[in-house]
Structure 1
Amino acid sequence: MTDNEKALKPEDLTRLFVERANAKDAEGLAQLYEEDAVMAYPPGRQTVGRAAIQKLWEEALPHMPAFAPEEPLPTLISGDLALTSTPPKDGSGARAQVVRRQPDGSWLRVLDQPEFQKPAG
């Protein structure tokens, strides 16, 4: 595990994600997730577990453009769980994550829905 900054509040995860994605740091991105986290990506599929999330980013990041920072919406916190979200700059809907406070006080993603797709209709 690399020695990356930890998220000290839920909203930090969004900033850290953008920084690490733009640095093409797949391992650093994976460290933002709990060991058994679930990410709804690529669209229509789920990637389960930190190792699988890291592998996905190792394959995807070299082909992705730079990520732009997105202002987080107000976070909902209940005990050690929080719901974070951001409206994408491209206006495509929303991004949402369920995050959990860790024993050391930092926060990690448990569930990640990076893209909501509008239902066909």
Structure 2
Amino acid sequence: MTQKMQYEKAYRPEDLTRFFVERSNAGDADGVAALYEENAVMAYPPGQTTVGRAAIRDLWAAVLANRPRFEPEEPLPTLVSDDIALTSTPPGDGAGARAQVVRRQPDGSWLRLLDQPEFRN
């Protein structure tokens, strides 16, 4: 019997970005995938979409195999309407932005529903 890993939950939309950086830098693709809803959509790789938590997990396993290093980025102000929020961060190089639509879960935590990792001006 396999035991499912329990991850700290995001109780503020902005926590998702911090957890992403922590888990990515630890090489934890399962932990990154746990930040997404089951049917989430990610606009990555460029020009493509990755749909579903399992596919997002597989994508991040491949990306993290190269041991990239992610730096924390200061979040821009979050827009919240009921159980939906828009989070975003400016990349360190100042080019483009990153944006995510996140949804409050029944337990009060937040997960990513739509993820646009980067778009350029």
* Common fold: TM-score over 0.5: yes
Separation of aligned partners in 1, 2:5 and 2:52: 18
Query: Partner of 1:18 in structure 2?
Result: 21
1:67 aligns with 2:77: no
Instruction: Give the aligned partner of residue 84 of structure 1.
Output: 87
User: How many residue pairs are counted as aligned between the two chains?
Assistant: 118
Counterpart CA distance in 2 for 1:56 and 1:92 is 24
Whether 2:115 is the aligned partner of 1:112: answer: yes
For residue 58 of structure 1, what is the aligned residue in structure 2? 61
| Structure 1 residue 65, shift from structure 2 partner | 2.0
Task: Using the TM superposition, give the Cα deviation of residue 117 of structure 1 relative to its aligned residue in structure 2, in angstroms.
Answer: 3.2
Amino acid at match of 1:20: R
1: CA distance between counterparts of 2:81 and 2:35? 20
Percent of pairs with identical residues: 72
**Does residue 37 in structure 1 map to residue 63 in structure 2?**
no
Gaps of 5+ in 2: none
**Given that residues 27 and 67 in structure 2 are in contact (C-alpha distance below 8 angstroms), is that contact kept between their aligned partners in structure 1?**
no
CA contact (8 A) 2:25 2:67 kept: no
Distance (whole Å) between structure 1 residues aligned to residue 12 and residue 85 of structure 2: 10
Alignment partners' CA distance in 2, 1:107 and 1:92: 27
Mark the runs of 5 or more structure 1 residues left unpaired by the alignment: none
Read off the aligned partner of 1:108 and give its amino acid letter.
L
Counterpart in the other structure of 1:2: 5
Q: Secondary structure at the match of 1:63?
A: coil
Q: CA–CA distance in 1 between the matches of 2:56 and 2:81? A: 26
CA contact (8 A) 2:97 2:119 kept: yes
Query: How well do the aligned residues superpose, as a CA RMSD in angstroms?
Result: 0.9
